[in-house]
Amino acid sequence: MPELPEVETVRRGLLPKMQGRRLARVVARRPDLRFPLPYDFGQRLTGASVKDIRRRAKYLLFDLDTGETLMAHLGMSGSFRMADAPFPPEKHDHVIFTLDDGAEVHFNDPRRFGFMDLFSGDDGAHAVLKDLGPEPLGGDFDGPTLAMALKGRKTPIKAALLDQRVVAGLGNIYVSESLFRAGISPRRGAHTVQGGRAEKLAAAVKDVLRAAIKSGGSSLRDHIRPDGELGYFQHSFDVYGRAGEKCRDCDCGGAIQQIVQAGRSTFFCPHRQR
DNA sequence: AGACGTACCTGACCGC
DNA sequence: TGCGGTCAGGTACGTC
């Protein structure tokens, strides 16, 4: 379930374990995830030290002292587990990092929609990073910039918000949640979200993401489960997965509807969202 | 260029 | 207990 808040929570979980540590050994247990792993993957990582772990959109970026950056995407089902000592790999543990203090970090991804790559230079040097839109919690995302990005787009606002070039890091859940909070119908043409509507939507996106990160970050210990798994936690959603339920905190009397847009489920309150 | 459908994978769940 | 169908939080790529 990794959208921006989950990836950020994973980052915050991994950072204190990995920052400053040398990768004593890195083993890929298969040659590919969604895509082939880069040439000499394990060798290029072995011996490198992790200077920092950053996040851009839903990507984790491990900056190494070799000058290379390890990029990791969790796809739909990726997760990390870690422990202070080696532990047996489970099914779908595809990449194993052994740190110089003996700790191990395992990357697990049953569906293998995730991927990893190595690159040098600034983030724009990687094709998947170079066209990403603004970070929603960064300084260059607000009503006017969102309105500009939506201008002339005929597609429904739901689809536009999933487009990582418009804003980076939203996924299917938080798009529904943001539109609910902003009172905007997911079917509305993206180009009609301008002015005050765009302001409201930008603010809703920030609120929803901040709350989700806070609920992750505030109880991070709970997300390192006894088995060491990181980053998955229960959020309470207003609309996602609540088809047929009463619209929360709203006297509209309506029920939450589920529709399909571009092949993916959307949840919304037709009374409250216009 | 923008918009759309499809492909990539496994597992969980439901009805029969 | 098993089987087939459906669905799942993402992204890249081909085609129009």
pLDDT digits (tens, 9 = 90+) for A5-62: 999 989 998 999 999 999 999 999 999 999 999 999 999 999 999 999 999 999 999 9
For residue A227, name the pLDDT band (cuts at 50, 70, 90): low
Q: For nucleic chain C, which protein residues have CB less than 7 Å from any of its atoms?
A: A 1-3, 6, 34, 57-58, 73, 75-76, 111, 113, 127-128, 162, 164, 171-173, 232, 264-265
Question: Is-contact A267 A257, C-beta < 8 A?
Answer: yes
pLDDT score of A69 more than 80:
yes
Mean pLDDT of A115-130: 94
**% of chain A residues with pLDDT over 70:** 92
Nucleotide nearest to A73 (CA to C1'): C10
For residue A163, name the pLDDT band (cuts at 50, 70, 90): very high
Quote the Cα angle for A143-A212-A172, to 5°: 70
Of A199, A194, A52, nearest to A123 by C-alpha is A52
Its pTM stands at: 0.94
